[in-house]
Chains A and B, each alone.
Chain A
């Protein structure tokens, strides 16, 4: 076991430095599996989390690669497929180093087993922070290259030829001079006998044939178009029951008195009972469960519930930011001596953000069965290790006794990564009551989903900035008010995108604080997390500062990036300006707005073309430039940027969950307006060439769009934006 601690091990990759081979070395059901287990994870994971699940039998080509006798190369995806198409990038990394035939590469979901399938940075198994590709880059290149070497050695032995005279291309191992060749399938049994190399040689990126090309496409487009993809909602198991739950109407509300007699009489209803989160109705099918729930009579106990309204909370947040309450701030970045740095004329601005729901297309759901101490979950798990722990606590068992089969998610945008595993634990509680290992599918309606909380938290930002005679910031004061997004650990998520921003770096005095009020409304992870708010604050503020200094917004940013030596941002900015025709005339009534933001290591700049006609805000075109390191799957990078723009734009235009006396008012798509096809802009994605380790792409497309639109509006109307959404 390694001495590395929980969460360590980002650089260098533990696979490179502390790889330990786990040799299956046998033909398992016709599939040869070669295995690597990275050993950076502490005894907690190996000992507790992998109990039971640990017999996942890592094979020869490691836990990440299986090659079978039909010639399929299966790449095991430890991350959740929620639409971001990570599987394509992961498969391409393996296929590139293995020199596999891309048409014969497919993917499958890994079982929950943190000892084998943890993310090297997070230290647990889970998907987040747009990290799948970055976290797999070294590990999967190693795995692919090792497997390739084993085939080459097998061929060399068989043909009695020197190893370095043998090549591999498209799944065929060959020797030019003797005109010999063999497929992976031909060599499968022999390769299994070769000891995997400890340090296989990796390709020079200039020799890549697959990575960075249009050949790398999704592997699931067909099944996701023709209706055959299996989501949690589609799971059918023998004897399975369907459950719905009546939840408190207020956050922090509790069950008071209830009458279940009518619900029990509804045809198809099998049982009705109290669970920790409300009253569960278990039935033979979804509709009966729904009718049963409608028949419940419940009065809730709201003594400890949140009963304030959004506008009250927003007013409170403004007071907190001014330091006028007993919620004290804690500094997250300070520099220089405040003394008289903020004396004289200041630029001041503040921003209000509402609560936002993730609202993935598939409402939350889960399938669970509990048989004594064994828990089996079949659903779109996002943070498997955390779900195992939470479910083990609920079912009074060990995390390793919680088996998870991960299905693709009909979207998540962070909702399925909720660290309390709220809906999953709810399902386990119901399945435990039902008992006997009988599977239960918990179905949430859209209304359940949207009123369940775990929202992007309401927030307020207040900035006070002193500038020099060129208009550049010399002193930057920044107060953020937001609930802590995660229930434990460092609460720096709302500061992402403010902390260490080049705009703070350029100032000689920085005084940045976060205030975290406690509310019963559960906050959650919303695609790009703190970045979607901080990008709006920083990028709109910078446009306002540029305007104040009578400087062009692109030129103003360029001056700052040059001063602080941010070469990546400079390159991304130059590319977006060039592709968007920054500075060239537009038709009357249209204006461009620019924003650039770094999120989870990826820099994205966007230029939006915006008009306001007859009171209607329209965004017709968004030009994007991206630096995400080596671009593995350009088509999917473009897809994620397109999707990120739509997701962020819909939220910026219309998104808000309003609390009225504590009760969320928007509970379905009639009131919670999202972007639709007639409003979707044309999105162009341009990638900055890079030789750096790849970084994520699932989230970084979201943050810049709100400020890009706000900045275009500023240019059109001269009016700043101080709250979202734009359209009330």
Chain B
């Protein structure tokens, strides 16, 4: 099958029931998308499907076919969220952060000026065991230009 990832058509001829997460990581060599729980509870595997945040561990390859898949590798280097993340030194272990960025990017696409409550609502599905939540929030607000 063909999967459209980060604007490119990629071939995948494995099990159509393989979760998209493992297709990306093991077959398309896109390891920025992380495995944390495998059951849509942690958000480490967050990607965009047609612009909406989705848990790639719980979407099958077959289901993602025909959709525009965007991973952290498809986020451009100067993206305001990446800039803000570095400015606030958000990451600790960093393992959750690509998922956090993908979730935050989807939020800003939908709500360019999110309130604290919007951020909480959008981001509470993404676990950070290192507890960087407040820095994530500050970085999102910084990127969105809401103080």
Contact = CB atoms under 8 A, between A and B. Distances in A.
A674 B91 contact: no
10 tightest Cβ-Cβ pairs between the two chains A and B: A227-B32, A646-B131, A224-B94, A410-B95, A83-B93, A83-B92, A227-B72, A224-B91, A680-B133, A643-B131
B1 interface: no
A645 B119 CA distance: 20
Where chain A touches its partner, the secondary structure class is: loop
Nearest to B116: A678
A411 B131 CA distance: 11
Given A236-B29, A363-B35, A680 B134 contact: yes
Contact of A411 (B93, B119, B125): B93
Interface residues on A, range: 35 or more
Interface in B85-118: 85-86, 89-98, 101
A303 interface: no
Nearest to B126: A677
A413 B129 contact: yes
B89 A217 contact: yes
8 contacts: A84-B92, A225-B94, A231-B34, A234-B25, A285-B14, A362-B95, A446-B37, A675-B131
Interface in A515-569: none
Contacts of B123: 677
Interface in B1-59: 14-15, 18-19, 22, 25-27, 29, 31-39, 41-42, 44
B95 A674 contact: no
B120 interface: yes
B127 interface: yes
Contact of B93 (A286, A287, A288, A362): A362
B65 interface: no
B126 to A, nearest CB: 7
Interface string B119-140: 1110111111111111111000
A592 B134 CA distance: 21
A290 to B, nearest CB: 8
A645 B131 contact: yes
A409 B121 CA distance: 28
Contacts of A233: 25, 31, 34-35
Interface string A28-58: 0000000000000000000000000000000
Nearest to B98: A227
A93 B29 CA distance: 37
A600 interface: no
Contacts of A635: 89
Interface string B64-94: 0000000111010100001001100111111
B131 A225 contact: no
B26 A287 contact: yes
A268 B98 CA distance: 29
Given A286-B25, A361-B95, A227 B85 contact: no
A225 B86 contact: yes
B134 A683 contact: yes
B91 A411 contact: no
Given A226-B32, A267-B15, A670-B41, A411 B89 contact: no
Interface in A15-32: none
Nearest to A222: B86
Contacts of B15: 267, 287-288
Interface string A212-239: 0000011011111111111101101000
Nearest to B31: A234
A227 B71 contact: yes
Given A227-B72, A360-B95, A361-B127, 17 more contacts: A218-B91, A220-B91, A222-B82, A226-B98, A242-B26, A267-B15, A361-B96, A410-B34, A410-B94, A639-B132, A640-B92, A642-B134, A668-B41, A669-B41, A675-B133, A677-B120, A680-B134
